[in-house]
Amino acid sequence: MARFDKLEVMNKMASAPMVPVFYHKNAETAKAVVKACYEGGVRLFEFTNRGDFAHEVFEEVVKFAAVECPEMAVGVGSVVEPAAAALYMQLGACFVVGPLFNAEVAKICNRRGIPYIPGCGSVSEVGWAQEAGCEVCKLFPGDVLGTKLVKGLMAPMPWSRIMVTGGVEPTEENLKSWFGAGAFCVGMGSKLFPKEVIAAADWEVVSQKCRDCFSWISNRKDS
């Protein structure tokens, strides 16, 4: 069962609007990354459904976070079918993210009160996802679609909450461009976790990158 309900997840997303997106086959490495992000201010963490036995690593991460990162809501990403969504929800996923919109995934997430954040590549797809009860839609891939799509979508649909993933970088310029266009939050993957940093287990670097991101986002909102 999820440790946080839909409203709690949405509030965390609003207050800390940067979601790390990460996968590692080694559970201990994954736990260390989650802890580093938590210490950097992260309150939502997306563990991607990639690789063999990813769900087993996810289960260990969820149990670890419940003890070591008590305010962290751990969710699952790269979900494309309802069977995977059901499996991860049973293991404690607090939210489900996908690279595409699947109406059947929306149904089972709604049944359990779990936020479903589907990948959308057009205004119409965002509209279809909203009709299915999706409070937040993922603009993916962000680096292909660009900030103009976010800004253009928000003009006629200002109630939309857009999470941009793909092409988001831990720099002040990049983050200000997305939030300036109207993004509700961002998902950040490889740029937040350089391979050399993970290999060296330099977790303070990860924590500081997260702190910097939240500082830049906060400054953008206050300006």
Note whether residue 108 is domain-resident.
Answer: yes
Phi, psi of 139 (to 5 degrees): -85, 115
Note whether residue 118 is domain-resident.
Answer: yes
Per residue in 132-144, is it b (16+ CB within 10 Å) or e — as a string? Answer: bebbbbbbbebee
CATH code, domain carrying 76 = 3.20.20.70
Q: How many domains does the chain have?
A: 1
Note whether residue 75 is domain-resident.
Answer: yes
pLDDT tens for the chain, 223 residues long, are: 899 999 999 999 999 999 999 999 999 999 999 999 999 999 999 999 998 999 999 999 999 999 999 999 999 999 999 999 999 999 999 999 999 999 999 999 999 999 999 999 999 999 999 999 999 999 999 999 999 999 999 999 999 999 999 989 999 999 999 999 999 999 999 999 999 999 999 999 999 999 999 999 998 755 5
The pLDDT, as a whole number, for residue 221 is 56
Residues in the chain: 223
Q: Find out whether 15 and 221 touch, Cβ atoms under 8 Å.
A: no
Rounded to two decimals, what is the model's pTM? 0.97
Q: How far is residue 43's CA from residue 133's CA, in Å, rounded to a whole number?
A: 23
Note whether residue 61 is domain-resident.
Answer: yes
Range of the domain at 209: 6-222
Note whether residue 91 is domain-resident.
Answer: yes
Q: Find out whether 51 and 23 touch, Cβ atoms under 8 Å.
A: yes
Note whether residue 1 is domain-resident.
Answer: no
Residue-wise DSSP of 151-216 = HHHHTT-TT--EEEESS--SSHHHHHHHHHHT-SEEEE-GGGS-HHHHHHT-HHHHHHHHHHHHHH
Note whether residue 81 is domain-resident.
Answer: yes
Note whether residue 189 is domain-resident.
Answer: yes
